[in-house]
Structures are given as C-alpha cells and as structure tokens.
C-alpha cells in the first residue's frame, strides 16, 4: 500500500504543516498541547490511543479531527485485519470523543461506508477513501481561502478567535487562516489580532505560532480586549472558524466567539465564519439543537497543570458557544460566500455539498 505513503510524502515536500499522517504502519501526530515552544511528535499505534489524543486535545481543529477520524478507521482496518465489526466499534469510539465536532462524525461515517467485502480487501478500500478525503480537505482549504480573500481589503486588521489554521486542518491554513493566508499571499497588507482563547490558549499558542511561520504581522490580545479594540477602530473584519453550522446558519465555535460577534454587531464590523461543507449540519435546524461539549472544570482552574485558583474553587467550561445567524455577515465555504437569508441560501447549496 504505497499510494498513501506517496501522498504524505508529497504533502511534506509541499511544506504543509501536517497535524497527523500515516507512517510505517502507525500514525504520527503533532502534539498541539506542546506548541509553540516544542514541536513534539509522537506515534499512535491503536485507535484507543488516537481517541485519547483527540479527547485530551493533543490534536484538535475541525479539519484535523475529520482527518484523524479517517486515519483512525484505516488504522482499525489494518490492526483488525479487516474485521468489520471491530472497525465499526472503532468508529463509534472515535465519534464519541468530541460531540460538537460534526466533521469528525461525518468523516468517520464516510469512511465506514467503504468497509465491506472480504477481510483482505477492506484495508485497500479504506486507504482509497482516506486518500480521497485528504486531497479533498486540502482542496477545500485553498478554495475557501480564495473566496474569503475577496472579502479582505488591503490594509485590513482582522480579528480571529481560537485557532482555525493549518495544524487544525490539513496543513495549509485550516479555515480562518486559509482566508488570511490567501489574502496575504495575494500581496494585501494586513494585520491579524489573535485572541488568546482561554482556557487552552489556542490563539496565543498556535495561531500566533502559525502566523509567525507564514510571516503575517499579528498582535496578541486577551479575550476580554476585543470590544475595546473594535470600539477604537482597530478591527475592520472578524474571521473565525467553525465546529458546526446549523442549517439556519447558527454557528457553534470555540466559547467566546459569541461575545466577539455581539461586539462586532454593535460596532458595525463584518463577522464571518470560514468552514467546509462537512461542517454544515443540514440535519440540525438551529443552534439550540447542537450538543455543547462540557470539559473538565480543572482546565479552567489550572494552566499547564499549575493551579491559578484555590483548591475547591468551582469552575465551568463549556467548550463551545452558539453565535446566532443574525450576527453573521457571511459563511465562507469552498463553494463561495453564503449570505443571509442563510436557511434559504444554504438549502439551495445543500445538494452541491459533499
């Protein structure tokens, strides 16, 4: 099975920031919890270990989670020697790790749809589907970046929240950073304001890490400074990623997104989300129906396992929040930029989506 190896080699030659790849019968992942000070990679030998890495957020980001799901089914096919029941069990485990991440669920189901036939044929079928998904995800990033870049004017300062970039995608720019990177590569002068994104600090640790690698000027702020920046004319556009978009355009994204969207509405600043078709959930009518993942409160009371509050302090950590569609100027996809009325316009495009 050399096709997947050849594709991964090409991606590396293209200098993509790969978050996960297949190598010598196992998976290699970039530990995003160690960024930006350590670029540490480790080896995943089993689906159980991959599920733990996803749950613990060693690997995260909508696109990267979808790719991880595809690779996970391939790993299960190899390890089980094509045992269909075991592969489907692996799929259920992977889908249970991040309940808000629709891209992970859809991609796992897509790969599972190829699992049939004689055991000795299963891994080859799964490999072909994984290759298709990897190519498609990268193409999505380039296409949505091109559409999104048309919204960026020369001289803009763009605020983004959390990390929706290369190592959260397939290696080019993920979602939001695909838009920013394309605009920058087109020669537009721009600056990025990155919100730190408590409690995991994905903006401070990973977004700024990628922006530095891309050579894009940027400024880091704490999450509670965004309103100040908008009020004082320091922001012209907001572009964030997405973990799920309901069929009416309501957006589930990293907690804190909603408050940025409210401030943007107050100050008449366009608020966009960049996403792929796989992240649009046409089976969910609105944001109220999206399951929000609640994570361990210790992630709020501790940073890098060091306490920042007294023992016994009660804390809350909803990992995502819902931004209602009336606060969103446009949804940037690989099919184009979708504007309101979202329920009507998304429905028109539904049959074109993968």
Q: What is the pLDDT of residues 239-286, one digit of tens each?
A: 999 999 999 999 999 999 999 999 999 999 999 999 988 889 999 999
Residue 349: band (very low, low, confident or very high) from pLDDT cuts 50, 70, 90: confident
Based on DSSP, count helices (H) and strands (E) in the chain, helices before strands.
13, 16
Q: Whole-structure pTM over 0.85, yes or no? A: yes
Whole-number percent of the chain with pLDDT over 70: 98
Mean pLDDT, the chain, rounded, equals 94
Give the distance, in angstroms, between the CA of residue 75 and the centroid of all CA atoms in the same chain: 22
Taking only the tens place, the pLDDT of each residue in 197-239 is 999 999 999 999 999 999 999 999 999 999 999 999 999 999 9
Residue 5: pLDDT above 90? no
- DSSP tag of 195: E
Which residues form the catalytic set? Answer: 243
Residue 54 CA to residue 213 CA, distance in Å, equals 25
- DSSP tag of 224: G
Question: From start to end of 1-123, where are the E strands?
Answer: 20-23, 26-30, 41-44
Evaluate whether 78 touches 123 at the Cβ level (below 8 Å). Answer: yes
Evaluate whether 4 touches 130 at the Cβ level (below 8 Å). Answer: yes
Evaluate whether 253 touches 290 at the Cβ level (below 8 Å). Answer: no
Residue 1: band (very low, low, confident or very high) from pLDDT cuts 50, 70, 90: very low
Q: For each of the domains in the chain, give its residue range(s) and CATH number, in order of start.
A: 3-139 (1.20.120.420), 142-350 (3.40.50.10470)
Taking only the tens place, the pLDDT of each residue in 60-116 is 998 999 999 999 999 999 999 999 999 999 999 999 999 988 899 999 999 999 999
Q: Minimum mean pLDDT among 13-27, 57-71, 154-168: which range?
A: 13-27
Residue 224 CA to residue 195 CA, distance in Å, equals 9
- DSSP tag of 206: I
Using alpha carbons only, what angle is made at residue 331 by residues 329 and 110, rounded to the nearest 5 degrees? Answer: 160
**pLDDT, position 351:** 64
By CB atoms closer than 10 A (0-12, 13-18, 19+), residue 130 is buried
Evaluate whether 195 touches 152 at the Cβ level (below 8 Å). Answer: no
Residue 348: band (very low, low, confident or very high) from pLDDT cuts 50, 70, 90: confident
Give the phi and the psi of residue 205 in degrees, each rounded to 5: -85, -40
CA distances from residue 91 to 24, 38, 210 in whole angstroms, order as listed: 22, 31, 31
How many residues comprise the chain? 354
Name the residue with tokens 């809350």: 316
**pLDDT, position 2:** 56
Average pLDDT over residues 18-29: 93
Residue 244 CA to residue 319 CA, distance in Å, equals 13
Evaluate whether 190 touches 156 at the Cβ level (below 8 Å). Answer: yes
Taking only the tens place, the pLDDT of each residue in 317-337 is 999 999 999 999 999 999 999
Dihedral of alpha carbons 306, 308, 309, 314, sign: negative
């Amino acid at each position: 099975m050399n096709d997947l190896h050849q594709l991964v080699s090409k991606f590396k030659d293209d200098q993509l920031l790969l978050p996960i790849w297949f190598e010598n019968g196992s998976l290699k992942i970039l530990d995003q919890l160690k960024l930006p000070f350590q670029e540490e990679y480790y080896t995943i030998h089993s689906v159980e270990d991959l599920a733990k890495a996803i749950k613990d957020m060693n690997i995260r980001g909508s696109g990267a989670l979808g790719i991880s799901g595809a690779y996970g089914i391939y790993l299960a096919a190899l390890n089980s020697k094509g045992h269909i029941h075991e592969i489907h069990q692996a799929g259920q485990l992977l889908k249970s790790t991040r309940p808000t991440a629709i891209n992970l669920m859809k991609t796992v189901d897509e790969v599972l749809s190829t699992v049939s036939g004689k055991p000795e044929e299963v891994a080859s079928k799964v490999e072909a589907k994984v290759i298709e998904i990897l190519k498609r995800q990268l193409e999505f990033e380039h296409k949505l970046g091109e559409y999104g870049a048309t919204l960026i004017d020369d001289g803009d300062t763009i605020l983004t929240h959390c990390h929706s970039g290369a190592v959260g995608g397939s290696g080019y720019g993920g979602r939001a950073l695909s838009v920013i990177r394309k605009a920058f590569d087109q020669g537009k002068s721009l600056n990025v304001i990155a919100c730190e994104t408590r409690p995991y600090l994905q903006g401070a640790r990973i977004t700024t890490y990628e922006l530095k690698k891309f050579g894009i000027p940027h400024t880091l702020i704490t999450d509670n400074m965004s309103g100040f920046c908008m009020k004082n004319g320091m922001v012209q556009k907001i572009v964030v990623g997405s973990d799920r978009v309901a069929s009416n355009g309501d957006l589930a994204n990293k907690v804190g997104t909603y408050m940025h969207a409210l401030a943007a509405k107050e100050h008449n600043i366009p608020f966009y989300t960049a996403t792929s078709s796989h992240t649009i959930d046409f089976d969910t009518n609105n944001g109220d129906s999206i399951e929000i993942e609640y994570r361990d409160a210790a992630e709020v009371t501790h940073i890098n396992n060091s306490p920042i509050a007294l023992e016994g302090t009660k804390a809350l950590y909803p990992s995502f929040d819902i931004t209602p569609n009336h606060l969103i100027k446009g949804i940037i996809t690989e099919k184009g930029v979708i504007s309101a009325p979202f329920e009507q316009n998304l429905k028109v495009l539904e049959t074109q989506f993968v």
